[in-house]
Structure 1
Amino acid sequence: MKIAYVLDDLDAAGGIQAVTRAKAAALAAVPGNEVVLVAANDARRTAADLPPGVRVVTLGVNYYEDDWKGFLYVMKGILIRRRRHAEALRKTLGELEPDIVISVGQSEKFMIPRISRGRPWKTVREYHYSGTYRKDYARLQGGMRARVMAAVSDFYEFALRQGSYDATVVLTRQDMETNWKGRKGVHVIPNPCIRRTERAASLDRPRAVAVGRLVPVKGFDLLIRAWEKVAAVHPGWKLEIWGDGPEKEPLENLVREKGLERQVFLRGATPDVQEKLLQSSMLVFSSLFEGFGMVLVEAMACGVPCVAFECPCGPRDLIEPEKDGLLVPLRDTDRLAEAVIRMIEHPELRRAMGAAARKKAGLYGLDAIAHSWMDLFHALKNSENTNLS
């Protein structure tokens, strides 16, 4: 089966790129498969590192290369390059003649349905975020303008474009049941756990970690406020927040305001999240909303139990409360602190939950996720109808 993934950029360090590269390698390992990554921009680094069975085709569009020159160049990128992209993509897909074409939801997402009319291949749209992410961000930003823009964008993408792909794949059951209810052809396939290790955390260090960009959606301000209550009972326990971003200074000020300089540490970005997880005894997840929450799966794979806000979407799908982690109501810093304190004071609970989490992480291994994708691809190929239910 020939599978074509279409996206803007492969060399970027983002999560979409990392997941796409990993899935491409896993699918290419299936006998009889050929995987082609069709990138709008140059992808020299990625092309050099991919395994046999994965090919890269670049379209030479190179979005963003002139954006730094000013607003007119940004508009040029949107208007002129978008047209060039569509023309190059139409030609390339026609030459490749794939069985399956997958959009990861970037610039190509509205091109593929038009290009695919009358073509023999089946089309799949991936959503790497929840169905309400625009509205969630608009609420977080505040203001009528953000809410109106979110509503208009959602209407254009969901109302006008509904049914334009043969199948739609979302990351969580919660997202499908809440935001895609009643729509045909929607399937749940979670992201794979890319970082897999034979090691497991010892869970005996007085250390908790949180991981993510220092931006409001990650809720690190709420986590610091919760840790004030934890530190009052267990001052020897440390919280390390790994990540960088525009909220660094306000968060540092909050740490000082709460007198937590010896308990809470903003460590900056790290290239080795897995090692930080292995050196911890729990992950604390304070996001206000997510598309999936990949760091939860990464922690589980390391045998690290998670304490999380039950935010949409991700934690409810991934964590079974009282078995492999703890969930608390969104934004409830008192309950978050209580859950962390419970983990601290009951090491046997930590170990039991860590072991259960590590076992569950196997469900998100690359081979298991590739198998789910192959089931969908075969069903699409064998179906004469679009919007496979």
Structure 2
Amino acid sequence: MRDGKYKIVYCTPALYSAGGTERVVSVKANYFADVLGYDVTVIVTEGKNGNSFFPLSNKVKVINLGLNFEELWNISFFRKILLYLHKQRKYRKLLTKELMSIRPDVTITTLRREINFINSINDGSKKIGEQHLSRTNYRKIDTRFSKYYEKLFFWWWKDRVVSELVKLNRLVVLTNDAVSEWPELANIRMIPDPLSLKVDGSSSLTTKRVITIGRYSYEKGYDILLRIWSVVEKKCTDWQLDVYAMGDPTPYVKLMDDLSIDKRRCHLHSSVVDVEDEYLKSSILVQPSRTEGFGLVIVEAMACGLPVLSFDCENGPRSIISDGEEGFLIPTFDIEEFSNRLIQLMNDADLRKSMGEKGRKKSQCYQIESVGNQWKQLFDELMQKDGI
């Protein structure tokens, strides 16, 4: 460190995809480097060239270790274990080499594969874990399609992480609910995700368009959303639904066919870079997630003046939305209530406008300047403890 300008290293799997973690890491890395003047390096294990899906400052260095853990996704369980252990040993060796060379003041892990060994790397840095999932969904497998020995392994693997989290200098979580999920840890700090957009305008809320942004996965609940839409589209025939998500939409296209949904008014898109433009062309955000660690999409939509409908799933949405103020929190999996509230918003322009205005105001506390200052305070606190 020189003159309060810390060396920061981020360890995260990838930057090339359009996920929420990738977006948040990019935004914070840019702020640390461009505004706070820190020396910032992001170390990734995936992606051929290390390019970032989201804009990344040329002051932020990226090191791609090229380990390709993603190839484990589609192989048998026992082969997966053997190859994982091999890659994990290689990862530990390569990451140790990089950290010993960089000698950062702070190393931040997004709690993926490196959490198993990062505390034992004696590079002199403070170690911070950044938790983007709720505890119940951290290191979770889909038990519907898992064999008993896979379940036993993952239960052991999931419980083992606590012994590593307790060694961190700090574990940063995104909501107050998330703080209470880890009663055995005394090193927790709550810092929300920052708003990643610099919004220039606000939606007119006159376009009859509902939007959601995320990924095509079970957790995001798009199967539930399509069931909701199959009801709503028949009562609000001049509205359309647009889904922007990363991943494979094929199962959802089939579900649309099964539900006889009008494909002229319901569109399943791939992920999009310019999310602000899509928000501004919409009038309502729907968030049908079964679980959320935070809900960055909610904050982004609110900043663009959109009212929000979300299931009241654990952690995220309830920490952002006050029911009936910036939008509606729907009891989880209550399709009828979600449908009724969505129809209510579609038919009430004044309610959309009132909720949208309240949402814009609340989104200000998630600006990067506010969140970035909380991170700076945390860095200063950890450094001052050692008299640095």
Q: TM-score, normalised by structure 2?
A: 0.86
2:126 corresponds to which residue?
122
For residues 28-67 of structure 1, what are the structure 2 equivalents within 5 Å?
A: 28-40=33-45, 43-46=49-52, 50-51=56-57, 53-58=59-64, 60-64=65-69
| Map of 2:3 onto structure 1 | none
CA-CA distance at 1:167 after TM superposition: 0.4
- Paired residues of 1:213 and 1:245 also in contact (CA < 8 A): yes
Residue number in structure 2 paired with 1:153: 157
Is the aligned partner of 1:164 residue 2:164?
A: no
- What aligned pairs does 1:236-385 form with structure 2 within 5 A after superposition? 236-243=238-245, 245-246=247-248, 248-249=250-251, 251-261=252-262, 264-271=265-272, 272-383=274-385
Q: Distance in 1 between matches of 2:313 and 2:153?
A: 23
Contact conserved, 2:294 with 2:315, CA < 8 A, in 1?
yes
CA distance in 1 between counterparts of 2:149 and 2:237 reads 44
1:7 alignment counterpart:
12
Q: Per-residue deviation at 1:313?
A: 2.6
Q: Identify the range of structure 1 (37-46 vs 293-302) with the bigger mean alpha-carbon deviation.
A: 37-46
* Higher alpha-carbon deviation: 330-339 or 49-58: 49-58
Q: Does residue 185 of structure 2 align to residue 183 of structure 1?
A: yes
Alignment pair present for 1:108 and 2:114? yes
Letter in 2 for 1:369: V
Gap change, CA 1:66 and 1:229, over 3 Å in 2: closer
Asked if the contact 2:179–2:188 (Cα under 8 Å) also holds between the matched residues in 1, the reply is yes
C-alpha contact 1:174 1:316 (8 A) present in aligned 2: no
CA 1:156/1:2 → structure 2, altered by over 3 Å: closer, same or farther? same
Residue 45 of structure 1, CA deviation: 3.1
1:313–1:264 Cα change, 3 Å: farther
AA aligned opposite 1:252 = V
User: Structure 1 residues 88 and 273, CA, compared in 2 at 3 Å: closer, same or farther?
Assistant: same
How far apart are the structure 1 equivalents of 2:337 and 2:144?
Answer: 22
| Cα shift at 1:300 | 1.2
| Amino acid in structure 1 at the alignment position of 2:269 | G
Measured on the aligned residues, the alpha-carbon RMSD in Å equals 3.1
What amino acid does structure 1 have at the position aligned with 2:267?
A: L
Q: Summarize deviations over 1:259-287 as a string: whole Å, max 9, x none.
A: 43167513321423332221111011111
Confirm or deny: 8 A CA contact 1:203 1:304 kept in the other structure.
yes
Q: Please, which runs of 5 or more residues in structure 1 have no aligned partner?
A: none
Q: Which residue of 1 aligns with 2:135?
A: 131
SS at match of 1:124: strand
User: In structure 2, do the counterparts of structure 1 residues 57 and 293 end up closer, same or farther at CA, with 3 Å as the change threshold?
Assistant: same
Residue 22 of structure 1 corresponds to which residue in structure 2? Answer: 27
What amino acid maps onto 2:44 in structure 1? Answer: A
SS at match of 2:178: helix
Identity of aligned residues (%): 27
2:301 and 2:37 map into 1 onto residues whose CA distance is 34
- Give the Å deviation of 1:112: 1.2
Answer yes or no: is the 8 Å Cα contact 2:209–2:240 preserved in 1: yes
Distance 2:244 2:37 in 1: 41
> Partners of 1:35 and 1:206 in 2: how far apart?
43
Native 8 Å contact 1:310 1:327 kept in 2: yes
Report the CA distance shift for 1:263/1:311 in structure 2 as closer, same or farther (over 3 A).
farther
Whole-Å separation in 2 of the counterparts to 1:32 and 1:97:
17
Is the 1:3–1:33 contact (alpha carbons within 8 Å) kept by the matching residues of 2? yes
Change (3 A) 1:263 1:325: farther
CA distance in 1, matches of 2:246, 2:287: 16
The separation in 2 between residues aligned to 1:341 and 1:70, in whole angstroms, is 44
Amino acid in structure 1 at the alignment position of 2:266: F
Residues 216 and 247, structure 1, Cα contact 8 Å, conserved in 2: no
Amino acid paired to 1:93:
L
Q: Equivalents in 1 of 2:322, 2:73: separation in Å?
A: 46
Which residue matches 1:82? 88
* 1:157-236 matches, cutoff 5 A: 157-158=161-162, 160-177=163-180, 179-236=181-238
Q: 1:225 to 1:114 in 2, by over 3 A?
A: same
User: How big is the shift at 1:91?
Assistant: 2.7
In structure 2, relative to structure 1, the CA distance for the partners of 1:50 and 1:254 (3 Å cut) is closer
Q: 2:239·2:265 contact (CA, 8 Å) conserved in 1?
A: no
Structure 2 residue runs of 5 or longer lacking an equivalent are 1-5
SS at 1:212's partner residue? strand
Alignment CA distance shift 1:283-1:74 (3 Å): same
2:90 and 2:263 map into 1 onto residues whose CA distance is: 55
Q: Which amino acid aligns with 1:115?
A: I
- The CA deviation string for residues 202-261 of structure 1, in whole angstroms up to 9 with x for no partner, is 101222122232322222222222234333432222222333644534x33443444431
8 Å CA contact retained: 1:208, 1:282: yes
Partners of 1:32 and 1:184 in 2: how far apart?
Answer: 30
Q: What secondary structure sits across from 2:192 in the alignment? A: coil
Q: C-alpha distance in 2, partners of 1:140/1:310?
A: 23
State the TM-score, normalizing by the size of structure 1: 0.86
CA drift of 1:308 comes to: 0.6
- Give CA-to-partner distance per residue, 1:51-78, whole Å, 9 cap, x none: 35423344x4533487699779866752
From the superposition, tell whether residues 333 and 14 of structure 1 become closer, same or farther in structure 2 (CA, over 3 Å): closer
